[in-house]
Amino acid sequence: MNDPLATQIAGIAVLDDPVRRSLYLWVTRQADPASRDAAAEATGASRENAAFHLDKLVEAGLLEASYRRLGGRTGPGAGRPSKVYRRSERTLQVTLPARRYELAAEVLAQALEDPRGKNASAGVAAAAHRAGVALGATARARAGRSSPLRRVTQVLDAQGYEPTESPRGVVRMRNCPFHEVAQTHPDLVCGMNLSFVEGIVEGAAADGVSASLDPQPGRCCVTLAARK
């Protein structure tokens, strides 16, 4: 599943079952990996039912499984290792429409940490541009025969901008991933957005595609245009 939002939603959907959800919440609160027996006893599920749901959580990437001997016993006669579970490193966070505040935080952190930076706004723009170039370059390597504009919109779509092409050759974004911040700091965020999109265009080698500020109510402030 390549759609990041769909992947996140699918992960959350796994927790819709109440038994599965209670098992997940109990396991994630434990300091050490938990066995099937312990999880079943703690949640009131049968061992077979607990094992089934725990393994489903592993398949969804929400838990990680390993094997260990319980009780500290080792050597001959210690018995077979038991399957144990712990929380995975995966983070689930779904907002509709999509928001990317972690990207904004990363850009701002890079700008503040840059020893060459003397102007905060310029530093934010430069950091946003670098982040865009990196994403655009990755998209370029995977692009195949897609058009320059398509390469850019694929990146923007993955970042939650909801790009839509209308009329042909003109792309506007229906969503600003930094919406709440943009409400109070529009100049800073719009400048960051523009630099980010320009970086994507550069990294994707999208010749003939240009980005410009074009604020519209309820939309991202950046518009893309492809030379006809």
Query: Is pLDDT above 70 for 223?
Result: yes
Smallest CA-to-CA distance from 192 within 105, 117, 114 is with 105
Distance CA 79, CA 73 (A): 8
Mind listing the pLDDT tens digit for each residue in 83-106?
A: 999 988 766 655 556 666 667 766
Higher pLDDT, 143 or 186: 186
Higher pLDDT, 213 or 117: 213
Mind listing the pLDDT tens digit for each residue in 49-84?
A: 999 999 999 988 889 999 987 765 555 555 678 899
Asked if residue 218 lies in contact with residue 152, where contact means CB atoms within 8 angstroms, the answer is no
Written as six digits, the tokens of 9 are 């939603």
DSSP character at residue 119: S
Count other C-beta atoms under 10 Å from residue 128's C-beta.
27
Q: What percentage of residues in the chain have a pLDDT greater than 70?
A: 78
Smallest CA-to-CA distance from 87 within 25, 38, 10 is with 25
- Across 174-194, average pLDDT: 84
Query: Is pLDDT above 80 for 188?
Result: yes
Which residues is 170 bridged to in the sheet? 225
Query: Is pLDDT above 60 for 7?
Result: no
For the chain, domains (ranges, CATH) are: 4-87 (1.10.10.10), 101-226 (3.30.1380)
Written as six digits, the tokens of 214 are 């074009």
Mind listing the pLDDT tens digit for each residue in 11-22?
A: 566 777 889 989
Query: Is pLDDT above 80 for 25?
Result: yes
pLDDT given at position 98:
64
Written as six digits, the tokens of 73 are 């016993």
- Across 191-217, average pLDDT: 93
